[in-house]
């Protein structure tokens, strides 16, 4: 797809680290959380990055495309407006549900991997796509629990979703690692099953092992095991982009720079 | 905390230099500058200061520690400076500088101080004819001396600042403040801070005419939270303003 | 015709999914009964993770309330949270404000804190 090729290595732009993101070497693209931006007054830092020619990709967390309810078109409209404001080639959200039964979980919850859930998800995604000005990429989430009676593996479920909606995939290797640790997903099988030619880009994030549970916190350092999953992915396909997500407990500029360098080293290893 | 040898010739720590140049507000700015320099805190474009997570802290002064402890949650740039200037740790620093005789209790100068001097001299001359007026002369000269006021910096304090230049960006903040200018850029810019952040701090008070404090020796501007300028000091800002009518300089060594 | 059948299929799929999702969130957020087939221990892990995330956000948005409550913040918030799950469409700030209000109503926070909070903000 034109425009999404070769994003390079990027980082999630957050207002707390805006100056850091601006001065870090080797930030080829950034992602902004769409819900945090207001059309009409983009943060100065985002404008500055755009002026420098750094691609800015909106990432949504609240469409709740896996919800049984209809998609909230106001949220879709906002995401589309952010995409236009930053001239983004693509937007993204997650394969998850956030709200159900009048409650808000405040989190990206996994959907059951059943035919029912897939039918609803496909309908929601198609409606969102019709109301978005640019292509939509969907991301695999980290789950702490497994729905009973799943009919498909996670990879098969995503492959079906792509097949039926023509959406793009945003593969989060930290979530894949988390699911491997917590619910026994096989990362290699996952990577075998998803259509890698529809890979938009990749997320990398840090987390923390707590007892027998791995928590995808985005507030800790990236584990070497997560980079190994990235390595596995890169051995199959050259990802158009890889982006580091850090949402809290921001470390020093040097530490962030070295995490980006470690990601770049993995990507470069497979380019030759 | 402060190196005890500092008063004897070797250079003072930047925070103390900041204090001597323009009072607790400047010392607070200097402490923040050092934390920024060491990569222990970061500032965002909207002026929020936050502590950098999980870093080797190294050796910190009490004021720097105060700032870091209170940055569990991000705080506005100006609030960080103001709260540090008003902290107990800053009062302790003030007392230490006093104990080392680098500063003293400052007295504001009375506008009519010279009247007492004139009377004293007059009575002194009169004493050649009427010796008993000598007592009056001494009394008037004493009052004249008192109302002349005293700068907060002692001779030792001024000597300690002698030769201190903005040789690095922390010292630049100590001498001029984040808003002060070093060459053609503001000291804040040396830290990559946007003007919108630096301008959160109160503007440096312009040097008043008649202020006799030279650059770097004006001394101890702000009385925020401490009493280097006596009761006349105001606490209007974390920067370097000083109460009206005092002799303690326009604050901030009068760079611009 | 085929489209209508598809629409009907979809709306019944939505209904079935809706009740399953609602049942799960009710169990996780509002101390509802555990839905059948789920690992009880994992439900507990997820419940704690969601609660901890929500607590962290409220602490971040209302540090004055959290500081005032000190060690009581966590147990009080956890008690509040189970009785007041976040409604769909509500904002995190409303959640933080509602928690402070709840604490005041319970007598855990003095009324005056509100004024001080404003003073602090305006400063």
Question: What confidence tens digit (pLDDT) does each residue in B111-147 have?
Answer: 888 888 898 898 888 888 888 888 888 998 898 888 8
- Judge contact between B43 and B197, C-beta under 8 A: yes
Q: What pLDDT shows up at residue B217?
A: 39
**pLDDT category, C1, cuts 50, 70, 90?**
low
Outline where chain A has alpha helix (H).
18-23, 44-51, 73-86, 115-130, 154-165, 173-183, 187-193, 224-236, 253-269
Q: Do C60 and B73 touch (CB under 8 A)?
A: yes
Number of helices followed by number of strands (H, E) in chain B: 9, 5
Distance from CA of B202 to the nearest CA of A (A): 23
**A161-200: buried (b, 16+ CB within 10 Å) or exposed (e) per residue?**
bbeebebbbbbbbbbbbbbbbbbebebeebbebbeeebbb
Residue C29: its chain A contacts at CB < 8 A? 103, 105
Residue C24: its chain A contacts at CB < 8 A? 100, 109
Eight-state DSSP code of residue A34: G
Q: Touching check for B79 and chain C: CB below 8 Å?
A: yes
% of chain B at pLDDT higher than 90: 47
Question: Looking at the predicted structure, is the pLDDT value of residue A246 above 50?
Answer: yes
Burial zone of B27 (CB within 10 Å; 0-12 exposed, 13-18 middle, 19+ buried): buried
Q: What pLDDT shows up at residue B253?
A: 32
Q: Touching check for C43 and chain A: CB below 8 Å?
A: yes
Q: What pLDDT shows up at residue B250?
A: 31
Q: Do B39 and A252 touch (CB under 8 A)?
A: yes
**pLDDT category, B203, cuts 50, 70, 90?**
confident
Q: Touching check for B73 and chain C: CB below 8 Å?
A: yes
Q: What pLDDT shows up at residue C121?
A: 44
Q: Do B79 and C60 touch (CB under 8 A)?
A: no
Residue A144: its chain C contacts at CB < 8 A? 42, 45-46, 49
In this predicted model, which residue has the larger pLDDT, C105 or B210? C105
Separation of alpha carbons C111 and C107, rounded Å: 9
Across C22-36, average pLDDT: 96
Question: Looking at the predicted structure, is the pLDDT value of residue B55 above 80?
Answer: no
Most A-contacting residue of B40, B43, B45 (CB-CB within 10 A), to test interface: B45
Question: Looking at the predicted structure, is the pLDDT value of residue B106 above 70?
Answer: yes
Question: Looking at the predicted structure, is the pLDDT value of residue A2 above 50?
Answer: no
Most A-contacting residue of C46, C48, C88, C92 (CB-CB within 10 A), to test interface: C88
Q: Do A120 and C36 touch (CB under 8 A)?
A: no
Q: How far is CA A131 from the centre of its chain?
A: 20
Across A26-50, average pLDDT: 96
Separation of alpha carbons A8 and A57, rounded Å: 13
Question: What confidence tens digit (pLDDT) does each residue in C50-81 have?
Answer: 999 999 999 989 888 998 999 999 999 999 99
Residue A213: its chain C contacts at CB < 8 A? 45
Q: Do B53 and A249 touch (CB under 8 A)?
A: yes
Query: Which of C10, C24, C92 minimises the CB distance to A123?
Result: C10
Across B173-195, average pLDDT: 92
Distance from CA of C112 to the nearest CA of A (A): 30
pTM of the model: 0.83
Q: What pLDDT shows up at residue B215?
A: 36
Q: What pLDDT shows up at residue B231?
A: 33
% of chain B at pLDDT higher than 70: 75
Distance from CA of C17 to the nearest CA of B (A): 40
CA nearest A104 in C: which residue? C88
CA-wise closest residue to A34 among A8, A65, A63: A63
Q: What pLDDT shows up at residue B251?
A: 33
Residue B45: its chain A contacts at CB < 8 A? 15, 18-19, 43-45
| Residue matched to tokens 């002060």 | B180
Question: What confidence tens digit (pLDDT) does each residue in A46-74 have?
Answer: 999 999 999 999 999 999 999 999 999 99
Q: Which of B22-26, B149-153, B226-230, C44-48 is the least confident region? A: B226-230
In this predicted model, which residue has the larger pLDDT, B34 or B248? B34
Question: Looking at the predicted structure, is the pLDDT value of residue B232 above 50?
Answer: no
Here the contacts of C89-98 (C-beta below 8 Å, separation 24 or greater) are C89/A99, C89/A104, C90/A104, C92/A106, C92/C57, C92/C58, C92/C61, C93/C61, C95/C54, C95/C57, C95/C58, C95/C61, C96/C57, C96/C58, C96/C61, C96/C62, C96/C65, C97/C62
| Residue matched to tokens 């105001």 | B234
Question: What confidence tens digit (pLDDT) does each residue in A155-205 have?
Answer: 999 999 999 999 999 999 999 999 999 999 999 999 999 999 999 999 999
Across A215-226, average pLDDT: 96
Q: Touching check for C67 and chain A: CB below 8 Å?
A: no
Q: What pLDDT shows up at residue B15?
A: 96
Chains sharing 3 or more CB pairs under 8 A with chain A: B, C
Q: Taking all residues of chain B, what is their mean pLDDT, rounded to a whole number?
A: 78
Residue A116: its chain C contacts at CB < 8 A? 13, 16-17
- In chain A, which residues touch C (CB < 8 A)? 67-69, 97, 99-107, 109, 111-112, 115-117, 119-120, 123, 144-149, 213, 215
Q: What pLDDT shows up at residue B242?
A: 34
Question: Looking at the predicted structure, is the pLDDT value of residue B239 above 50?
Answer: no
**pLDDT category, C110, cuts 50, 70, 90?**
confident
């Amino acid at each position: 797809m034109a425009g999404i090729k070769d994003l390079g290595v990027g980082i999630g732009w957050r207002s707390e680290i805006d100056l850091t993101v601006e001065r870090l070497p080797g930030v080829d693209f950034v992602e902004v959380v769409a819900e945090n931006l207001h059309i009409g007054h983009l943060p100065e830092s985002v404008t500055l990055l755009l002026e420098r020619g750094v691609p800015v990709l909106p990432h949504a967390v609240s469409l709740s495309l896996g919800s049984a309810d209809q998609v909230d078109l106001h949220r879709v409209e906002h995401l589309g407006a952010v995409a236009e404001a930053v001239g983004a080639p693509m937007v993204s959200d997650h394969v998850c549900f956030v709200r159900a039964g009048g409650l808000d979980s405040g989190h990206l919850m996994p959907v059951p991997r059943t035919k029912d859930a897939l039918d609803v998800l496909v309908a929601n995604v198609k409606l969102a796509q019709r109301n978005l000005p640019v292509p939509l990429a969907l991301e695999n989430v980290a789950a702490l629990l497994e729905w009973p009676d799943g009919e498909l593996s996670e990879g098969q479920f995503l492959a079906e979703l792509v097949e039926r909606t023509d959406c793009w995939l945003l593969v989060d290797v930290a979530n894949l690692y988390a699911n491997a640790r917590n619910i026994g997903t096989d990362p290699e099988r996952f990577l075998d099953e998803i259509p890698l030619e529809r890979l938009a880009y990749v997320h990398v994030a840090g987390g923390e092992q707590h007892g027998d549970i791995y928590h995808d916190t985005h507030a800790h350092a990236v584990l070497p095991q997560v980079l190994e999953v990235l390595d596995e992915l890169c051995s199959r396909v050259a990802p158009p982009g890889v982006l580091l997500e850090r949402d809290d407990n921001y470390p020093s500029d040097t530490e962030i720079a070295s995490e980006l360098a470690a990601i770049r080293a993995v990507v470069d290893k497979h380019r030759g | 905390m402060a190196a005890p040898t500092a008063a004897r010739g070797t250079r003072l720590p930047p925070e103390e230099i900041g204090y001597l140049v323009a009072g607790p507000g400047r010392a607070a700015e200097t402490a923040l500058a050092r934390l920024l320099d060491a990569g222990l805190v970061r500032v965002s474009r909207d002026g929020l200061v936050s502590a950098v997570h999980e870093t080797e802290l190294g050796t910190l002064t009490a004021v720097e520690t105060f700032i870091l402890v209170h940055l569990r949650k991000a705080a506005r740039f100006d609030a960080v400076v103001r709260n540090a200037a008003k902290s107990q740790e800053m009062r302790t620093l003030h007392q230490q500088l006093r104990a080392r005789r680098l500063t003293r209790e400052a007295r504001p100068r009375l506008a009519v101080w010279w009247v007492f001097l004139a009377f004293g001299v007059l009575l002194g001359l009169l004493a050649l004819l009427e010796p008993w007026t000598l007592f009056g002369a001494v009394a008037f000269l004493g009052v004249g001396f008192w109302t002349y006021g005293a700068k907060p910096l002692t001779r030792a304090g001024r000597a300690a600042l002698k030769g201190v230049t903005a040789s690095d960006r922390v010292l630049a903040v100590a001498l001029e403040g984040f808003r002060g200018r070093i060459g053609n850029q503001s000291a804040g810019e040396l830290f990559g801070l946007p003007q919108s952040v630096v301008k959160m701090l109160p503007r440096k008070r312009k040097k008043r005419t008649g202020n006799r404090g030279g650059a770097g020796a004006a001394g101890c501007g702000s009385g925020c939270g401490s009493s280097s300028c006596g009761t006349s000091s105001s606490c209007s800002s974390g920067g370097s303003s000083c109460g009206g009518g005092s002799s303690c300089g326009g604050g901030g060594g009068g760079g611009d | 015709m085929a489209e209508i059948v598809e629409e009907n299929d979809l709306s019944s799929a939505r209904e079935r999914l809706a009740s399953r999702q609602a049942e799960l969130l009710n169990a996780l957020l509002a101390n509802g009964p555990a839905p059948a087939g789920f690992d009880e221990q994992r439900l507990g892990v997820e419940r704690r993770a969601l609660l901890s995330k929500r607590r962290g956000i409220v602490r971040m948005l209302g540090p004055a309330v959290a500081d005032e409550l000190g060690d009581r913040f966590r147990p009080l918030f956890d008690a509040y949270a189970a009785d007041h799950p976040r409604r769909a469409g509500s904002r995190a700030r409303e959640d933080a404000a509602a928690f402070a209000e709840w604490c005041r109503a319970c007598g855990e926070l003095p009324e005056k804190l509100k004024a001080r909070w404003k003073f602090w903000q305006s400063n």
